[in-house]
Structure 1
C-alpha cells in the first residue's frame, strides 16, 4: 500500500513523534511512502536551526535521518515555511535573509505537492493541525 503522510504539528507536539513512528511502521510493514509533506507548524520539523534541549527528543534530527536513510520525497510547504522564517538558500537570497534553515533532503514546494501525493497514494494520513 502507498501512503502519503502530512504533518501539521511542530517538533515538540506529541503528534510529530507519532507521525515519525507511524512512518517507520509503514516501511517496516513493507509498505511505501510516496511523499512526506510538512505544512503549517510542521515545517519546523525540517528546520536545521532548531536546537533541542539535551533531555528532549530531537525530532528534527530524527526526521532528517529517517528521510535520508530511506531516500524519501520530503516536501516542506513553501508558503508555510516563508511565513515562519524557515528558508532554504534560494529563498533566503530572494528575500535578503541571512538564515538558512532548510537544506537537502528537504525541498520547499507548493501545496500542489500534497494534492499530487494524495492522488497517487492509497491513503493520506495527517498528523496534528487544527
Structure 2
C-alpha cells in the first residue's frame, strides 16, 4: 500500500511523533510513502532552528534523519512556512530576510503537492490540526 502523510502539528506535539512512528512502521511493513506533506504548524518540524529540551525527544531531528535515510519526498507548504518564518535560501533572499532555517531534505511547495499525493497514494493519512 502507498501512503501520503500530512502533518499539521509542530514537532513537539504528540501528533507529530505519532506521524513519524506511523511512517516508520509503514516502511518497516513494506509499504511505501509517496509524499510527506507538512502544513499549518507542521512546517515547524522542518525548521533547522528547532531545539528540543534535553529531557525531550528531538522529533524535528528525527524527521530529518528519517526523510534522509529513506530518501522520501518531504514537502513543506510554502504559504504556511512563510507565515511562520520558515524560509529556504531562495525565499529568504526574495523577502530580504537574514535567516535561512529550511534546508535539505525539505522542499517548499504548494497545496497542489498534497492534492497530487492524495491522488497517487492508496491512502492519505493526516496527523494533528484542529
Q: Same fold (TM over 0.5)?
A: yes
CA deviation digits over 1:43-98, x for unaligned, max 9?
Answer: 00000011111111101100000000000000000000000000000000000001
Specify the alignment match of 1:91 in structure 2.
Answer: 91
Per the alignment, residue 3 of structure 2 pairs with 3
Q: Moved runs in structure 1, 4+ residues, more than 3 A?
A: none
Corresponding residue of 1:81 = 81
Structure 1: stretches of 5+ with no match in the other structure: none
Residue 41 of structure 2 corresponds to residue 35 of structure 1: no
TM-score by length of 1: 0.99
Measured after TM superposition, the shift of residue 12 of structure 1 is 1.1
- Aligned match of 1:24: 24
- Cα distance between partner residues in 2 of 1:72 and 1:12: 21
Distance in 2 separating the partners of 1:83 and 1:60: 19
Q: For residues 96 and 56 of structure 2, what CA distance do their matches in structure 1 show?
A: 33
The DSSP-based 3-state class of the residue aligned with 1:124 is strand
User: TM-score, normalised to structure 2's length?
Assistant: 0.99
**Equivalent position of 1:102 in the other structure:** 102
Note the alpha carbon deviations across 1:11-35, whole angstroms, 9 max, x for none.
1110000000000000000000000
**Deviation, structure 1 residue 127:** 0.1
